[in-house]
Amino acid sequence: MGTSDLDRQIAQQRKCELIKESEVRELCNKAREILIEEANVQRVDAPVTICGDIHGQFYDLMELFSVGHDCPDTNYLFMGDFVDRGFYSVETFLLLLALKVRYPDRITLIRGNHESRQITQVYGFYDECLRKYGSVNVWRYCCEIFDYLALAALVDDRILCVHGGLSPSITTLDQIRTIDRKQEVPHDGAMCDLLWSDPEEIDGWGVSPRGAGYLFGGDVVAAFLHANNLELIARAHQLVMEGYKHMFKDTVVTVWSAPNYCYRCGNVAAILELDDKLNRNFVIFHPASQDARGIPAKKATPDYFL
């Protein structure tokens, strides 16, 4: 597919239109070629805008691009959890993937804990693919792509971006680089922890109530930053009322990009703009207005009730 064809497809996708299953397969094939070359810790140059969880909230992603300006005019780094829970996980992920194929150096996608076969079978993406395409092929193609997503990103060698957090198995960035990432997210171990852990006001490590990953305290963060010559860990994975939240004297920041989560939480969303000197600017945004939101297609009565 030539560039102009891809541009045409992206224009279609920006209107929240579904692309054909054959187009999904082709898009995923192209994306794989690009992602396979990326490192576990993908290097990214500032300036870049860092984004947190989207969870299928397509129209709110449009709002994000509106306040942050479109890709490729702005460089973007998305920290995972593109799918599940929202109405439009398919459209959301495939648009981001198409942008990745079109502008590979302008957008970076790293893996969240929801980019997983097991999780997407529980939290909606699987069901959505089945309903929208009538088969699970698109889900399978996307899950294969999930396996190729980088685990982390490093901005100008100073800011580490990861979906969840740290791992007791990992003290250096090189240890992340040695992981074989091309697999389903494991139930435990370093790769799992990076996508599942949470910072917490404790000393050292704690058991995570999520049942995967760990809780990690400020002392762990300080040691990690020092050992790896970093100034900040940017992560997502947790809902934040005000869109972003610092911890541990601004050495960890949680960025959350799904406004009014579950239509009830009343939270705003945020993106973190880094300029070429790594100065930080947080931009807050609200859900897209009601008239900007499409009307989801009516679904058939669930099989349970027939």
Among 238, 251, 280, 283, binds another protein (CB under 8 A): 238
Among 254, 255, 271, 272, binds another protein (CB under 8 A): 254
Contact characters 36-55, another protein, x per CB under 8 A: -------------------x
Q: Does residue 85 bind another protein (CB under 8 A)?
A: yes
Provide the CB-side half-sphere exposure for 132 (13 A, CA): 23
Of 89 and 228, which CB lies nearer to another protein in the complex structure? 89
Task: Report the 10 Å Cβ neighbour count for 131.
Answer: 12
Pairing mode, strands 107-109 and 76-78: parallel
Residue 228 backbone phi and psi in degrees, to 5: -115, 10
What residues numbered 161-180 form the site for another protein, per CB under 8 A?
none
Task: Report the 10 Å Cβ neighbour count for 286.
Answer: 14
Minimum Å gap between C-beta 210 and another protein is: 7
Q: Does residue 263 bind another protein (CB under 8 A)?
A: yes
Residues 6+ apart with CB under 8 A from 262: 85
Q: At what angle do helices 58-68 and 89-102 cross, to 10 degrees?
A: 40
Strand partners, 78: 51, 109
Q: Does residue 268 bind another protein (CB under 8 A)?
A: no
Among 123, 214, 216, 224, binds another protein (CB under 8 A): 123
Among 200, 278, 282, 286, binds another protein (CB under 8 A): 200
The answer to whether the CB of 285 falls within 8 A of the CB of 273 is no
Does the annotation count 114 as an active-site position? yes
Strand partners, 108: 77
Which residues of the shown chain bind another protein in the complex (CB under 8 A)?
Answer: 55-56, 84-87, 118-119, 121-124, 126-128, 187, 200, 209-211, 215, 238-242, 245, 254, 260, 262-265, 267, 290, 293, 295-296, 298-306
Active site residues: 114
